Amino acid sequence: MAKRILIVDDEPRYLRLLEANLRTEGYEVITAQDGLQAVSVFSDQPVDLVLMDVMMPKLDGFGATQRIREFSSVPIIILTAKGDEQDRVRGLDLGADDYLVKPFSATELLARVRAVLRRAQPPSEAGQSRFFTHDNLKIDFARAEVWRGESPVSLSATEYRLLLQFAHHVGKIMTSEELLTSVWGPEYRSDKEILWVSIARLRQKLEDDAHSPKHIVTRSGLGYLMPPIEE
């Protein structure tokens, strides 16, 4: 079954361009021209991915992303103007999985879409024990569920894959390049910004004190690790 993608942009030219390129690759496409319409359309029918412009009337892309994240972990790619680093960081911080900087080529668009959809597929955990625990953190691999104490934690597909890298390599320092390549793909190897924001979001969700983390620790100049729990 073809993947269904929701494109949200108030510029008809971009909507037509994005729709044409995605349909050519076999994707099913639906569109919205502002954030309010996007949330309404999203609520009415399931989609596999959202391409979300930032600057839109009625409700901008940030507001629409925030509303969608209140009830769904569907992958979202933010579309930002060239040079707007603050927009990219804000979009990622609100729960977007990736970003594209306008103007972009059809090749870059399709590569990012494939990468995000690939990350959204449930990882195979064959041969693993069903449960993983690290202090008050618990992962149920079979159901792809994460708990902090007695409370369930809602993670995006990308955040979950990032957490799995630490769970599968407890005690090992992982470099930024290793994490980016393993979770996002080799084409993201130098995109430190997306990793920093994702690590920060994970800490906000998993740690009792995000400023003094015990699950995901930074080793300055080296990388990140999940330290072994002392017996």
| Domain CATH code at residue 106 | 3.40.50.2300
Q: Is the pLDDT of residue 217 over 90?
A: yes
pLDDT tens sequence across 153-178: 988 888 999 999 999 999 999 999 99
Last residue of a domain, which of 120, 148, 178? 120
pLDDT tens sequence across 185-214: 888 888 888 999 999 999 999 999 999 999
Domain that holds residue 146: 131-225
**pLDDT of amino acid 187:** 85
Task: Give domain status of residue 230, yes or no.
Answer: no
Task: Give domain status of residue 126, yes or no.
Answer: no
Please tell me whether residues 10 and 115 are part of one structural domain. yes
Please tell me whether residues 114 and 60 are part of one structural domain. yes
**pLDDT of amino acid 123:** 65
Last residue of a domain, which of 120, 150, 165? 120
Query: What tokens does 113 get?
Result: 């879409």
- At residue 176, φ and ψ (nearest 5 deg) are -60, -40
**pLDDT of amino acid 231:** 54
State the total domains in the chain.
Answer: 2
Please tell me whether residues 101 and 147 are part of one structural domain. no
**pLDDT of amino acid 124:** 60
Look at 48-57, 80-89, 222-231 and tell me which has the smallest mean pLDDT: 80-89
Please tell me whether residues 114 and 138 are part of one structural domain. no
CB of 7 closer than 8 Å to CB of 18: yes
State the SS3 of 89-135. HHHHHCCCCEEEEECCCHHHHHHHHHHHHHHHCCCCCCCCCCEEEEC
Last residue of a domain, which of 55, 85, 120? 120
pLDDT tens sequence across 89-126: 888 888 899 999 888 899 999 999 998 998 887 666 55
Please tell me whether residues 30 and 79 are part of one structural domain. yes
Give the H/E segment covering residue 42. Answer: helix 35-44
Please tell me whether residues 175 and 199 are part of one structural domain. yes
CATH number for the domain that contains residue 145? 1.10.10.10
The separation between CA 98 and the C-alpha centre of its own chain, rounded to angstroms, equals 6
**pLDDT of amino acid 125:** 57
pLDDT tens sequence across 6-56: 999 999 988 999 999 999 999 999 999 999 999 999 999 889 999 999 999
Question: Which pairing describes strands 145-148 and 28-32: parallel, antiparallel, or unpaired?
Answer: unpaired
**pLDDT of amino acid 128:** 63
**pLDDT of amino acid 62:** 93
**3-state DSSP call for residue 93?**
helix
Q: Output the average pLDDT for the chain.
A: 90
Task: Give domain status of residue 214, yes or no.
Answer: yes
Task: Give domain status of residue 125, yes or no.
Answer: no
**pLDDT of amino acid 119:** 83
